[in-house]
C-alpha cells in the first residue's frame, strides 16, 4: 500500500515555502509510523509537490480537479493533498475532505517562517483528522464520521489535548514536532 502526500504550492511561492515542504516530508514519515502503531498497516510513503501556475477564475484548482488527479494517478494509491485552498465542500470543521483512498486539507501557511510548532498545531492535526476518517472507513466503522468529529469537538471546545510526538516519532510531554488527534476513545 502506498500513501502519497502531495504538497500543492503556487509556483511564485515555491522558494519561500520550501521549509514547509521539508516539514511535510518529515510529517509523512511520522504518519507512516503512527498508522502502523495505531492501525497495524504498513504504508510505503511517497511525498512530492504539485506546483500550480496562475490561472483564470474558470480554471481554478478545486476538489474536483484533485479527485481527477487522484483517479489519473491510480485509485489504489492513497493520495493526500495539502492544498493552498479550502475544499469546495466538506462535512469536516477542520477544512478537510476525505473519500476512498483520498484525503485533502487546507494547509495553513505559518505567519512566521520556519515555525514547526505552528505547522504541527494547524496542519498536522488536520491531517490526522482526515487520516482517521479513512482508516476507520477501511475498518468498516459505519459511524466513523461522528466518532472523529466528536473527538475533534473535544479538542476544540473541551480542552482535550492533542497527542504530542517528538522528532523521533515518540510520545512526549516536551515541545512536540507532530500533533495528532487523541485516539483513546476510538478503542483501536
CATH number, position 30: 3.40.390
User: The pTM is what?
Assistant: 0.92
For the segment 146-182, what is each residue's pLDDT rounded down to a tens digit? 999 999 999 999 999 999 999 999 999 999 999 999 9
Mean pLDDT over the full length of the chain: 91
| pLDDT higher than 70, residue 57 | no
Which of 27-41, 84-98, 115-129 is the least confident region? 84-98
Residue 113: predicted pLDDT = 86
Q: What is the mean pLDDT of residues 54-80?
A: 76
Q: What is the mean pLDDT of residues 47-51?
A: 94
- Domain hosting residue 126, numbered range: 2-186
Residue 73: predicted pLDDT = 82
Percentage of the chain lying above the pLDDT 70 cut: 94
CA separation for the pair 134, 102 (Å, rounded): 8
Residue 55: predicted pLDDT = 66
Q: What is the total count of domains within the chain?
A: 1
Amino acid at each position: 500500500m502506498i500513501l502519497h502526500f502531495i504538497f500543492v504550492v503556487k509556483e511564485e511561492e515555491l522558494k519561500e515555502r520550501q521549509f514547509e515542504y521539508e516539514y511535510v516530508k518529515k510529517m509523512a514519515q511520522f504518519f507512516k509510523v503512527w498508522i502502523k502503531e495505531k492501525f497495524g498497516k504498513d504504508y510505503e510513503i511517497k511525498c512530492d509537490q504539485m506546483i500550480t501556475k496562475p490561472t483564470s477564475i474558470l480554471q481554478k484548482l478545486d476538489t474536483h480537479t484533485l479527485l481527477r488527479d487522484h483517479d489519473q494517478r491510480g485509485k489504489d494509491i492513497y493520495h493526500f493533498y495539502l492544498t493552498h485552498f479550502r475544499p469546495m465542500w466538506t462535512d469536516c470543521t477542520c477544512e478537510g475532505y476525505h473519500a476512498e483512498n483520498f484525503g485533502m486539507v487546507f494547509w495553513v501557511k505559518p505567519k512566521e517562517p520556519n515555525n514547526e510548532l505552528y505547522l504541527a498545531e494547524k496542519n498536522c492535526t488536520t491531517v490526522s483528522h482526515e487520516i482517521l476518517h479513512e482508516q476507520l472507513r477501511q475498518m468498516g466503522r459505519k459511524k466513523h464520521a461522528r466518532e472523529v468529529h466528536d473527538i475533534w469537538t473535544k479538542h476544540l471546545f473541551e480542552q482535550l489535548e492533542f497527542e504530542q510526538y517528538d522528532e523521533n516519532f515518540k510520545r512526549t510531554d516536551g515541545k512536540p514536532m507532530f500533533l495528532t488527534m487523541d485516539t483513546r476513545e476510538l478503542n483501536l
